[in-house]
Amino acid sequence: MKLKVGDKVKFLNQVGGGVVSKVVSSQIVNVTDSTGFDIPTLIKDLIKVEPLEGAGKLFEQDVETATPTEHYRQPQPSAKEYTENISSLRPIPESRNIDQGLYLAFVPHEQRWLITGDMDVYIINRTPHTVLVSAFLQADNEFEGVDYSDIPAESKMYLSTIDRDSIAAWSKGVIQALFHYDKGSAVLSPVSADFKIKGSRFYKEESYVSTACIDSKAIVVSLSKLSDIRTVATIDAKAKSVADKDEQPQAHTAVKKAKIMNPDNILEQYFIEPNVAEVDLHIEAIYPNCKELDDHSKFEIQMNFFSKCLNDAIVNHVQKVIFIHGVGSGILKNEIVKELKKYKGLHYFDASMAKYGVGATEVYFSQNIEIL
């Protein structure tokens, strides 16, 4: 439920109600009751009082509010309730080199029908630092502050649930960020990333990518990579002091153009070193909601994903890809080998047994590859 300043509301858990006087965040609003008190209240604990139409207005009455002998303030939401919109990211294996940084993600509720239904919007903090963020949406002549909070390391912050009619309002804006950590040899510059997404992308299934840090397919916008952020100040390792400002270029707020993660290059998230990717073909890794699928459907998804990764490797001139397919009945491996035999210029063999057992195939790509 969305609320705005001026909306009449009733409390779910107590008698009375009031008028929304301030939208604090996507989860909390201030409600001014009949006594003039501003009461911070979780949106989920409120009911919006819709205006009546026609003859119904004859029966419209003001929202009832309790009139106690003493002023009563509703208990403030606990720290736990304030942080319900923060959740940890999915653990990523150390061998999978996913770029650290800040991301904006649009995650459809219906993963089987990606271009329909509501979507959850998140800011993803894929860094080892706590990040203080502020999110703004750009309207015609102004910016609207959506939410602000601190996001712990390797966590994501829920911003809102939007329907398809709200896409235009959420397709343009600015995310600002400050980095905080207890100890370090440098202080990172603040980041200000402006994003703009074409509305048509939300209606193309190929725009939604699988990422290692969240369980669902999403439109993912890269706000800033950690490796691209400059430092404001560093410690001279030898002198154990802050380096002289005259000796270093002045660092300013890093202004970034947000970049939508390329849905046409699936391998981006699987590189473990330059020009080398490691792709896990286990169905749980590429399709989290696999319990509802039969064996044939699982196999088709795995082979389709393998084919896309193979094609991406060829188009982007990748040197080597390790496909982890497991042992099982051997059907998946046999089909993979059958596909690889169709190409001239590919070299493949069993990957390292010490590292992968007998459940992986290593593929090398030459400069000139042809289909036989």
The domain that holds 144 is classified in CATH as: 2.60.40.1600
217-225 vs 101-108, strand pairing mode: antiparallel
pLDDT tens sequence across 194-208: 898 988 889 888 888
Q: Are residues 217 and 364 in the same domain?
A: no
pLDDT tens sequence across 49-62: 866 444 444 434 44
pLDDT tens sequence across 93-142: 544 556 788 999 999 998 888 988 899 999 999 999 999 999 999 988 88
177 part of a folded domain: yes
The stretch 180-209 carries a mean pLDDT of 87
SS3 category, 45:
helix
Around Cβ 228, how many Cβ atoms within 10 Å?
12
Domain that holds residue 48: 8-81
Q: Are residues 142 and 56 in the same domain?
A: no
235 part of a folded domain: yes
- Please give the angle made by the CA atoms of 222, 226 and 96, to the nearest 5 degrees: 80
129 part of a folded domain: yes
Q: Are residues 211 and 309 in the same domain?
A: no
Whether 323 contacts 279, CB under 8 Å: yes
Q: d(Cα 21, Cα 49) in Å, to the nearest integer?
A: 15
pLDDT tens sequence across 248-278: 444 455 565 665 655 556 777 788 887 888 9
pLDDT at 179: 93
Q: Are residues 103 and 39 in the same domain?
A: no
1 part of a folded domain: no
Tokens of 223: 């706000």
Q: What phi and psi values does residue 339 have, to the nearest 5 degrees?
A: -70, -40
Q: Are residues 243 and 317 in the same domain?
A: no
pLDDT band, residue 73 (cuts 50/70/90): very low
Least Cα distance to 192 among 229, 147, 157 occurs for 229
The stretch 346-354 carries a mean pLDDT of 87
SS3 category, 364:
strand
Domain final residue, candidates 39, 58, 81: 81
To the nearest 10°, report the CA torsion of 93, 95, 98, 101: 80
329 part of a folded domain: yes
SS3 category, 297:
helix
Q: Are residues 202 and 219 in the same domain?
A: yes
How many distinct structural domains can be found in the chain? 3
Q: Are residues 39 and 121 in the same domain?
A: no
